[in-house]
């Protein structure tokens, strides 16, 4: 039995995917993908599985994701699944397909929230409003 682990990050969300030989069952936080809500996140998570094609009938995917928001968790999970599938199959062709479809399937988005500056109210770059009258 072959087992591969991969991780993905997006903003504050961190996903860890475990891929093992199996029948094609996909679970996110112990919940089947078919019941994952919202629908947009479900569709986002299906993308790497659809591109992988018949490889998915030979592998079970289990993802644990924590932190961040709904969309960030979906992006992090998607990244972890795609990276894991490439490692599981050891296929350069699959890697090429992922990169051609969407580079974010294999390359993490490194943007993070900018920290707020000390002794300032509001956001990271907000300044005090100047009044001329």
pTM: 0.88
40 in any annotated domain: yes
Tell me the three-class secondary structure of 90-105, residue by residue: CCHHHHHHHHHHCHHH
7 in any annotated domain: yes
129 in any annotated domain: no
Under 8 Å between Cβ of 118 and 129: no
Local structure of 9: helix, strand or coil? strand
93 in any annotated domain: yes
Residue ranges making up the domain that contains 24: 3-103
Encode pLDDT of 18-52 as tens digits. 999 999 899 999 999 999 989 999 999 999 989 88
130 in any annotated domain: no
Confidence band of 113 (pLDDT split at 50, 70, 90) = confident
pLDDT of residue 81: 93
60 in any annotated domain: yes
pLDDT surpasses 90 at 121: no
Confidence band of 53 (pLDDT split at 50, 70, 90) = confident
CATH of the domain at 63: 3.30.230.10
56 in any annotated domain: yes
């Amino acid at each position: 039995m072959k087992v591969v682990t991969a991780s993905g990050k997006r903003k504050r969300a961190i996903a860890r995917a475990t891929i093992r030989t199996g029948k094609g069952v996909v679970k996110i936080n112990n919940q089947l993908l078919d019941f994952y809500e919202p629908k947009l996140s479900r569709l986002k998570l299906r993308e790497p599985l659809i591109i992988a094609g018949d490889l998915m009938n030979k592998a079970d995917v289990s993802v644990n994701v924590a932190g961040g928001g709904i969309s960030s968790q979906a992006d992090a999970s998607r990244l972890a699944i795609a990276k894991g599938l490439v490692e599981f199959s050891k296929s350069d062709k699959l890697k090429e397909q992922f990169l051609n479809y969407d580079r974010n399937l294999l390359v993490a988005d490194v943007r993070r929230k900018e920290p707020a500056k000390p002794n300032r109210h509001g956001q990271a770059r907000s300044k005090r409003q100047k009044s001329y009258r």
